[in-house]
Each structure stands twice: as structure tokens, then as C-alpha cells.
Amino acid sequence: MIAACTDVLSPGATVATADLLPLGIQTAPPAGISFWVVNTRATTRALRHNDGFNTLYAEIQVPSGSLANLNGTPIGPGDSIEVNVTPLAGGYGVTVGPSGITFSSAPRVTFSYARYGDATVADGSSYTSPSAYAAALEVWEEVTVGRWRTAAGSSSAGTDQITALLDASGRLMVAAPR
């Protein structure tokens, strides 16, 4: 008999919030931002800590022509919408709104946790060191309330940065499987 392995997920599989170990933050996250995205041009915006160094928390890059629909209504080439990006409390992640946005070309969200990332959340877990925990980090997207899957394109973006693609508005979180 073959034992089931709980740490290997099939593509598209979801896990409960309790099965993830979110990356902690050593300070309060920065304030959220709102900005207009015009479908005819690329837009890049950043959330930065108010720490005197403007340390990057997260950056969102929206490609030109990427807005597809808002609540099922097509968004035309000359249309625009106001996008809200709100950090999650207590860790690294964001909620992108308004709800109901879908994209034809996925925006890229990059999180930077070099200065304020708190890998001690992994103390006492199955990870043998903070670097082992950091190596297991991925960007997760909430599929339904309390159910998450690895976000498309989730990968390291350099030292202490992680990036993923955003198919639609919703919640993203930086975490590792428990």
C-alpha cells in the first residue's frame, strides 16, 4: 500500500488556509492605494512602507490592453477602471479590487520582504531553517473563502522577492505549505 503524501499538490489543487504558513511581517503593512488603469496604456504602482526609505512592499504591473471584463461587462480599449490594492493584515499579501475584474493579459504582482519579512513564523514547523522556509514560499490566490491555490507564475523574483500573475481581482498571500 502506498501512503498518501500531503506536501505534493496536483496542479490547480486547493488547500485550506490552515494548511499554509503565511510569511509574517515585522511591522504594520503600508497603506493601501487606489489608482486608475486606462486600458490603452501600461500602469505600474507600488505599495511602500512609510519608513524613511520607502521600502517596497508590493508592486503591481498592469500591461496595456489587459482589462477584459468587470462583472461580466466587457471593458473596451479606451475604458478605464479604478483599481484598489489593500495589504493583508499581519503578513505579506494583498486584496486587488474591485471584485469582478478579469484580465486578458495578466498583471504581475511582486512582493519584497527583504527588510520586514518575518521567517520566524516557521519556527517549530517542518522547515529546518529560515532559508528553507523562504525557499518554499509561493504566492497563493484565494479561490473561494478559505481555499487557496498557487498563483500562476509564482516564482522567486530575486533575493527576498517573489512574484506571480493575477488572472482576476481577489486576494493573494505569500506563504509556504505547512
pLDDT tens, residue by residue, 57-97 = 999 999 999 999 999 999 999 999 999 999 999 899 999 99
Tens of pLDDT, residue by residue over 113-122, are 999 999 999 9
Q: Are 176 and 136 in contact (CB under 8 A)?
A: yes
Residue 66 counted as domain residue = yes
Q: Is residue 32 part of a domain?
A: yes
Q: Is 5 within the bounds of a domain? A: no
Whole-angstrom distance, CA of residue 110 vs CA of residue 112: 7
The answer to whether residue 7 sits within a structural domain is no
42: domain CATH number is 2.60.220
Residue 8 domain flag = no
Q: Please state the φ and ψ torsions of residue 109, each to the nearest 5 degrees.
A: -115, 125
Question: Would 136 be classed as within a structural domain?
Answer: yes
Residue 137 CB neighbour total at 10 angstroms: 24
pTM of the full predicted structure? 0.90
Nearest to 48 by CA among 26, 27, 24, 32: 32
Write down how long the chain is. Answer: 178
Count of structural domains within the chain: 1
